[in-house]
């Protein structure tokens, strides 16, 4: 297995290049990778019409949307209701001529004071008047009968509300800093007009695209049905998915992911059987043990559903802990070999210092693109 430095790919492993891209930028998701990474991989894997791509950790559907633009059939799974909601809204077809008047009417509605009943952490994230506006528009949108239209409007409201909020994400925590924010109604209008414009101009090719609730450790796909996997699992030690989207969850009236659904995250794991991953976890913290155990299950599942000759590209990173770095990139590739894949290369795309809360450096974590073949 070759380990090669490819730092020029580092930016493609982030959301940054998607910021200016229609539809891809309908939700900002720090953990996403870029459309251009998917385009690059699809080209280098020689993928095209008739192929079937899987993203078992699809997040906000970057892989699926890019496949949609390339005319490649694809399927994605996730266990997080917010990610699934955003993916669904981004991947749908809309009748933009029907949407436009609904948007115009919505943003002109006369304000009526709503009953504001929200949890404290939501109330703290907004000024009183912005919160009243958010609740007012949420109420009006919930009255829209057509599900597609309602969810399109709700995604717009979620984005506009977060831009008008005092909250910001700091790792897994939500912090509040009061600042001047624009009026919600203006932001909502701008957001929805932009989304309508995107729908009008975004080009996709005819192909089958599916996004579903599903656990990457056990999909319902048939054996040997997938030509390629382009994905990025949760990074070790990152607990953002559990807490950081609570305000968005409230706005959308969605719950969080199931307690034992997220890779490597659950209570009471101390007593679990780790014998399958023994060689990878010696001396590691419990979080890492659970992570490697779950990832091994997910990798074996990938092996089952991949056709012979299928290619896998997986973006991941080493984990930062108080006492040092837990290597992930190379161990996951070793696991892939144990599952039956040929682990071809580890392309190191980024390096960063891991620090303690007191800012003491405890090591260097690598972010890498792992390439495997069945
Ligand atoms: C790094 S993000 C993927 C980002 C994605 N590549 C994108 O561009 O949006 C990892 C995703 O894995 C999801 N996830 C965590 N545990 C999962 C599981 N057991 N099965 C499926 N998805 C899971 C998380 O909810 C998160 O959306």
- The Cα–Cα gap between 122 and 131 comes to 9
**Structure confidence at residue 332 (pLDDT):** 96
**Structure confidence at residue 339 (pLDDT):** 97
**Structure confidence at residue 185 (pLDDT):** 97
* Shortest-distance atom of ligand 1 to CA 83: 27
- The Cα–Cα gap between 44 and 31 comes to 23
With a 6 Å cutoff on the Cβ, whether 318 touches ligand 1 is: no
Strands 167-170 and 173-176: antiparallel
With a 6 Å cutoff on the Cβ, whether 217 touches ligand 1 is: yes
Considering only CA atoms, which of 52, 55, 83 is closest in space to residue 302?
55
Ligand 1 centroid to residue 72 C-alpha, Å: 21
- Count CB atoms within 10 A of the CB of residue 199: 18
Residues in a beta bridge with 305: none
List, for residues 45-83, the tens digit of each pLDDT value: 999 999 999 999 999 999 999 999 999 999 999 999 999
**Structure confidence at residue 306 (pLDDT):** 98
Task: Tell me: pLDDT of 308 over 80.
Answer: yes
Q: Residue 254 has which token pair?
A: 């969605």
List, for residues 309-361, the tens digit of each pLDDT value: 999 999 999 998 888 899 999 999 999 999 999 998 999 999 999 988 788 88
List, for residues 133-188, the tens digit of each pLDDT value: 999 999 999 999 999 999 999 999 999 999 999 999 887 788 999 999 999 999 99
Mutate to test the pocket of ligand 1, among 78, 245, 302, 328 (most ligand atoms within 8 A of CB): 78
Model confidence band, residue 292 (pLDDT cutoffs 50, 70, 90): very high
Ligand 1 centroid to residue 103 C-alpha, Å: 31
Answer yes or no: are the C-beta atoms of 56 and 62 closer than 8 Å.
Answer: no
The pLDDT mean for the chain works out to 94
Considering only CA atoms, which of 239, 315, 231 is closest in space to residue 60?
231
* Shortest-distance atom of ligand 1 to CA 235: 1
Task: Tell me: pLDDT of 21 over 90.
Answer: yes
**String of b and e for 333-367 (b: at least 16 CB within 10 Å)?**
bebbebbebebbbbbbbbeeebeeeeeeeeeebbb
Mean pLDDT of 88-92: 97
With a 6 Å cutoff on the Cβ, whether 76 touches ligand 1 is: no
With a 6 Å cutoff on the Cβ, whether 33 touches ligand 1 is: yes
**Structure confidence at residue 119 (pLDDT):** 94
* Shortest-distance atom of ligand 1 to CA 241: 25
With a 6 Å cutoff on the Cβ, whether 234 touches ligand 1 is: yes
**Structure confidence at residue 104 (pLDDT):** 97
Mutate to test the pocket of ligand 1, among 38, 66, 234 (most ligand atoms within 8 A of CB): 234
- The residue extents of the domains of the chain are 2-80+211-373, 96-201
With a 6 Å cutoff on the Cβ, whether 264 touches ligand 1 is: no
**Structure confidence at residue 180 (pLDDT):** 94
Ligand 1 centroid to residue 57 C-alpha, Å: 4
Closest residue (by CA) to atom 21 of ligand 1?
A: 78
**265-270: Cβ within 8 A, 24+ apart:** 265/239, 265/241, 265/290, 266/290
Model confidence band, residue 219 (pLDDT cutoffs 50, 70, 90): very high
**Structure confidence at residue 88 (pLDDT):** 97
**Structure confidence at residue 212 (pLDDT):** 96
With a 6 Å cutoff on the Cβ, whether 315 touches ligand 1 is: no
Model confidence band, residue 281 (pLDDT cutoffs 50, 70, 90): confident
Model confidence band, residue 114 (pLDDT cutoffs 50, 70, 90): very high
Ligand 1 centroid to residue 78 C-alpha, Å: 6
Cβ neighbourhood burial of 308 (10 Å; 0-12, 13-18, 19+)? exposed
* Shortest-distance atom of ligand 1 to CA 58: 5
- CATH no. of 2-80+211-373: 3.40.50.150
- The Cα–Cα gap between 237 and 328 comes to 11
Task: Tell me: pLDDT of 10 over 90.
Answer: yes
Model confidence band, residue 238 (pLDDT cutoffs 50, 70, 90): confident
* Shortest-distance atom of ligand 1 to CA 29: 9
């Amino acid at each position: 297995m070759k380990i090669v430095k490819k730092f020029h790919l580092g930016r493609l492993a982030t959301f940054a290049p998607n910021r200016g891209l229609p539809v891809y930028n309908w939700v900002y998701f720090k953990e996403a990778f870029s459309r251009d990474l998917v385009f690059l991989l699809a080209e280098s894997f020689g993928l095209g019409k008739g192929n079937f791509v899987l993203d078992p950790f699809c997040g906000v559907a970057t892989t699926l949307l890019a496949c949609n633009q390339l005319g490649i059939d694809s399927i994605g799974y996730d266990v997080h209701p917010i990610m699934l909601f955003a993916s669904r809204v981004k991947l749908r077809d809309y009748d933009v001529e029907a949407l436009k008047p609904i948007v115009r009417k919505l943003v002109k509605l006369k304000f009526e004071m709503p009953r504001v009943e929200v949890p404290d952490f939501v109330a703290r994230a907004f000024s009183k008047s912005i919160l009243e506006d958010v609740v007012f528009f949420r109420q009006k949108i919930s009255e829209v009968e057509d599900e597609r239209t309602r969810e399109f409007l709700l995604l717009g409201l979620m984005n506009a509300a977060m831009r008008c909020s005092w909250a910001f994400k700091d790792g897994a925590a939500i912090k509040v800093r009061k600042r001047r924010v624009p009026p919600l109604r203006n932001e909502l209008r701008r957001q929805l007009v932009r989304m309508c414009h995107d729908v009008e101009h975004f080009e996709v090719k005819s192909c089958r695209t599916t996004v579903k609730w599903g656990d990457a450790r056990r999909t319902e796909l048939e054996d040997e049905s997938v030509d390629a996997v382009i994905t990025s699992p949760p990074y070790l030690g990152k607990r953002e998915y559990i807490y950081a989207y609570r305000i968005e969850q409230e706005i959308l009236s969605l719950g969080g992911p199931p307690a034992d659904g997220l890779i490597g995250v659950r209570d009471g794991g101390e007593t679990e059987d780790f014998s399958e991953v023994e060689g990878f976890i010696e001396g590691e913290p419990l979080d890492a043990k659970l992570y490697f155990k779950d990832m091994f299950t997910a990798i074996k599942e990938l092996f089952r559903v991949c056709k012979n000759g299928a290619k896998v590209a997986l973006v991941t990173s080493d984990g930062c802990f108080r006492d040092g770095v837990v290597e992930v990139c190379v161990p996951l590739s070793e696991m892939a070999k144990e599952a039956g894949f040929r682990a071809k290369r580890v392309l190191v795309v980024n390096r960063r210092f891991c620090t303690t809360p007191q800012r003491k450096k405890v090591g260097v974590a690598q972010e890498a693109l792992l390439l495997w073949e069945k």
